[in-house]
Amino acid sequence: MNGTKKRSVRWHIAVFLAPAVLVYTAIMIIPLFGTLQLSLFRKIDQQQIFVGLDNFRILLGDPRWSDSFWNALGNNTWFFIIHMLVQNPLGILFAALLSSPRLRFSAFYRTAIFIPTILSFVIVGFAWKLILSPLWGITPDILDAVGLKSLFAPWLGRPEYALTTLGLISVWQFIGIPMMLIYAALLSIPDEILEAAECDGITGMKQFWKIKLPLVLPAIGIISILTFVGNFNAFDLIYTTQGALAGPDHATDILGTFLYRTFFGFQLQIGDPNMGSAIASLMFLIILAGVSIYLFGIQTRLRRYQF
């Protein structure tokens, strides 16, 4: 009799995974390859003609397309930088404060900060558009009440302010996500580590900077890559507040709104699915490059901080 026991095939794993794999393939994988395929063709005389990478060459080099593309990419990059410089540090700060056992009503504060995250983009966009309106908004009255009305400006109507203002609105809406993720990471730190630090005289903010922060670096890395992916897929807030033209004068135009106008058309612009697919493909490649840099260049270095 053979001493080795034959390993049974775990068919139930495939059965449970099959629905999720089928749904993901239907709504993600197949459309992705369809988009990549469509970007390699161009409609000529009512026929789809294979042109290879010519659509990408036009998008990146032809002034009729490249000016709009590089403007949208630059705006998207600034939109992402705002979140990295404002949202994530504030999320870490809030998480550190809320994790303090001496803070009263911490559950209320967590809820209040996280509530905007569950609101619809449409609600957030229209609400802030009303709040910041120079005609019927409440911002001028609030600044006037504290003697700062001279600082008010139509921030959503000026090209130099509009994108930064929308970035800060997005920060206000989504700051609850990094806060809760870091908060959960801080609570998961073993008590033995903190007790050992206290025995060595490391307490308060010194304990946070030398003990807690290094241990939550993997969580901060995950938050950073989620911020990158989310911002380079952004569309809803810009469209809700500034419309498809992403005014004023395309100052808030990002890759998502540029893709929308190109693919579906808007006003006098006729939709071009082939060029729209080329833009979508470049967005995918940008996000793929960022995620790959994180996975292979950063995550491996952060593993040393895991416990």
Q: What is the pLDDT of residues 138-170, one digit of tens each?
A: 998 899 899 888 888 999 999 999 999 999 999
Out of 11-25, 136-150, 195-209, pick the least confident. 195-209
CB 69 within 8 A of CB 60: yes
In the predicted structure, residue 186 carries a pLDDT above the cut 50: yes
For the 55-305 domain, the top CATH level (class) is mainly alpha
Gap between the Cα atoms of 3 and 210, Å rounded: 54
In the predicted structure, residue 5 carries a pLDDT above the cut 60: no
Collapsed DSSP state (helix, strand, coil) of residue 49: strand
Collapsed DSSP state (helix, strand, coil) of residue 269: strand
Encode pLDDT of 242-285 as tens digits: 999 998 999 999 999 999 999 999 887 889 999 999 999 999 99
Contacts of 91 (CB under 8 A, 6+ apart): 175, 176, 177, 178, 179, 181, 182, 223
Among all chains, which residue has been given the structure tokens 């135009």?
A: 253
Predicted local distance difference test score (pLDDT) of residue 1 = 47
Chain-centroid distance of CA 242 in Å reads 19
Number of H helices, E strands in the chain: 18, 4
Virtual torsion, Cα 47, 48, 52, 54, nearest 10 deg: 70
Among all chains, which residue has been given the structure tokens 């950073």?
A: 224
Gap between the Cα atoms of 294 and 114, Å rounded: 27
Collapsed DSSP state (helix, strand, coil) of residue 243: coil
Gap between the Cα atoms of 275 and 41, Å rounded: 9
DSSP state of 141: H
Q: What is the mean pLDDT of residues 174-202?
A: 90
